[in-house]
Amino acid sequence: MKFIKNMVRNVMNEAMDEALSRLIKDQYTENMAAMIPVGRKVGFPNFTEILMRSSQGTPIPRPLGSYIHFSPWESLLFSPVHLFRMPTPEQVRIETSVTIGPLARKPLTIAIPIMIAAMSFGGALSKSAKLALAKAATAAGTATNSGEAGLMREEREAAQLFIGQYNRGGWMNTPDKYKQLDAIEIQLGQGAQGSASQRTSVKNIGEDYREVFELKEGEPAIIHSRLPGVNTADDFIQLVRRLRHETGVPVGLKIAATHHLEKELQIALEAGVDFLTLDGAEGGTHGGAPTLQDDVGLPTLFAITRASHYLARKGATGKVSLIATGGLVTPGSMLKAMALGADAVYIGTAAILALIGEQLVKTAPFEAATSLVVYTGKMTSELDVDAGARSLLRYLNASVMEMEQVAQSLGRTSLSDISKSDLCTLDADVARTTGIQWGWTAADQQAEALSAIPFTMPHPDHIGAKDSSEQFDSSLH
């Protein structure tokens, strides 16, 4: 044994010497070390995605959305109270329930402000993963979402509160299906895909998929860029009014957050929607083109802030519920979204990771953890549905408890009572654009201090690290 160890050691020593010598002596252009600056220049994800595109020749389906942290959540901090307002006594329970669509004939009340985001059976997740999500949501007293799919009977039965997407594939768009829902979300876009069309090829469609989507054998599943039957704003308005009249449940609109936000919201309010779901540019997906994920949309933080201001201007605050989603992976960012005006949040990526939980060991080290839950995954049969539901329930409980702790420290008795006045920001631009107070200066000196600071334009990679950001004089001075 010792002989073998010495032999391996000698071989490795020789190999390392050779490699180091070449690293030092070879021309830089012929040197493996050239990959280091190339990697730094291009970035590791871009580097691998260039190679994947060159191999596949078609848009590459990156899972779980953009890795870029567009929304500067970390520049916001909650402000605890001690004397001027007292913290909430620990005996007082923090109210966590939220009513979605309070003006609907049958509003939807959830026990916690976190819901499970739209992740479709087949297009994204396996049946067992969808059932685990539904079971966990039911145990937590919250809602889960169908995603762009047909109505899966088992999921409907497992979910006490089930939001279904009236979708661009048309698979949920008949009365026999949407009349079984607790809320209807008209899906016109999503953060990770914009309003682009999507196609699931026949090779990825199994028998159970065909059954739920009512597809013929050999027929692909196509999500159109437009909702079938909705070619004008007026078509949309008529659709919302019809669905509200027919069902009585909250009817909402989901879009990819966009700089055209207010124009889109104006039509939605005219239609009389009960809720708005805004999916920020950070939104995840089972697999989408990196360009749609990284270069399209508006970050969640900006979208929620603008939408909340817009609803206030239109007198719709408290009448039309606002749901934030996209890149909300910590309880802190979820609560900040609520403080900025969201009534509730959807989580996707975090829910999936929490669901996998301890079952991660089944895939390590040779398979990706997601192979347990995605429809086309190699290990979907290995997922223990009840264990997954328990893991997600624990995660939801822990997350809401952390939010409750913050509420207690802010002297609030309900998560819904937390507002922008409970926040400060370290970022002067965020202070100016959101109305949140700037943490660098006292409350009564905000305007003077902010007017002395020029606007900055950080690269998303450098949000929070202003040293490297480009600065320019503000035209607002």
Partner 1 sequence: MLETNDMKQVLHYLHAEIVRIETISGTLASVEHEHYQKLTNFDQKELVDIAVEEQSAARQLGAVKQMCLNMSQQIDGMIRNMDRGAGDEIH
Minimum gap (Å) between residue 137 Cβ and partner 1: 11
Instruction: Tell the smallest beta-carbon distance from residue 114 to partner 1 (Å).
Output: 11
Helix (H) or strand (E) segment spanning residue 393: helix 385-410
Q: Show Cβ contacts of residue 184 under 8 Å, excluding neighbours closer than 6 positions.
A: 163, 164, 165, 166, 178, 243, 247, 249, 250, 251, 252
Q: Which residue has the tokens 């009572």?
A: 417
Stretch that binds partner 1, among 92-100, 164-172, 255-263, 442-450 (CB under 8 A): 92-100
For residues 257-279, one letter each, b for 16 or more C-beta atoms within 10 angstroms of the residue's C-beta and e for the rest, the string is: bbeebeebbebbbebebbbbbbb
Q: Measured from the CB atom, is 102 or 464 closer to partner 1?
A: 102
CB of 208 to partner 1, least distance (A): 30
Range in contact with partner 1 (rule: CB under 8 A) among 8-16, 102-110, 250-258, 374-382: 102-110
The sign of the CA dihedral 395, 401, 404, 408 is negative
Let me know: does 60 contact 383? Beta carbons within 8 Å: no
Site for partner 1 in 300-319 (CB under 8 A): none
Interatomic CA distance for residues 233 and 155, integer angstroms: 32
> Using alpha carbons only, what angle is made at residue 318 by residues 315 and 324, rounded to the nearest 5 degrees?
105
Q: Which of residues 378-437 bind partner 1 (CB under 8 A)?
A: 390, 393-394, 396-397, 400-401
Does the protein bind partner 1 through residue 345 (CB under 8 A)?
no
Q: At closest approach, how far in Å is the CB of 136 from partner 1? A: 10
Judged by CB, which is closer to partner 1: 196, or 400? Answer: 400
Q: Least Å distance between CB 397 and partner 1?
A: 5
Print the binding letters for residues 119-158 with partner 1: x by CB under 8 A, - otherwise.
Answer: --------------------xxx-----------------
- Give the residue among 392, 418, 422 at the shortest CA–CA distance from 404: 418
Question: Starting at the edge strand that comes first in sequence, how are the strands of the sheet with 321-325 ordered?
Answer: 114-116, 344-347, 321-325, 275-279, 251-256, 183-187, 161-166, 143-145
Residues 330, 311 contacting (CB under 8 angstroms): no
Segment contacting partner 1 by CB under 8 A, of 20-28, 97-105, 266-274, 321-329: 97-105
Question: In this complex, which beta carbon is closest to partner 1, that of residue 142 or of residue 165?
Answer: 142
Q: Which is nearer to partner 1, 112 or 261 (CB)?
A: 112
Residues of this chain, 45-64, that bind partner 1 according to CB under 8 A: none
Number of residues that bind partner 1 (CB under 8 A): 21
Among 101, 107, 170, 377, binds partner 1 (CB under 8 A): 107
Residue 340 CB burial class (10 angstroms; 0-12, 13-18, ≥19): buried
108 versus 450: smaller Cβ distance to partner 1: 108
What is the spatial distance between Cα 20 and Cα 192, in angstroms, rounded to a whole number?
Answer: 43
Q: How far apart are CB 361 and partner 1 at their closest, in Å?
A: 16
Task: Say whether the peptide bond before residue 80 is cis (omega within 30 degrees of 0).
Answer: no
Q: Which is nearer to partner 1, 97 or 376 (CB)?
A: 97
* Piece of 24-32, 101-109, 225-233, 367-375 that binds partner 1 (CB under 8 A): 101-109
Within 8 A by CB and 6+ apart from 385, the residues are 128, 131, 132, 135
- The residue with tokens 């191999």 is 55
Nearer residue to partner 1 within complex by CB, 10 or 397: 397
Minimum CB separation of residue 118 from partner 1 in Å reads 22
The β-bridge partners of 115 are 346
Residue closer to partner 1 by CB (options 289, 400) is 400
Q: Which residues pair with 429 in a beta bridge?
A: none
Q: Which is nearer to partner 1, 48 or 97 (CB)?
A: 97
User: Residues interacting with partner 1, by CB under 8 A?
Assistant: 93, 95-97, 99, 102, 107, 109-112, 139-141, 390, 393-394, 396-397, 400-401
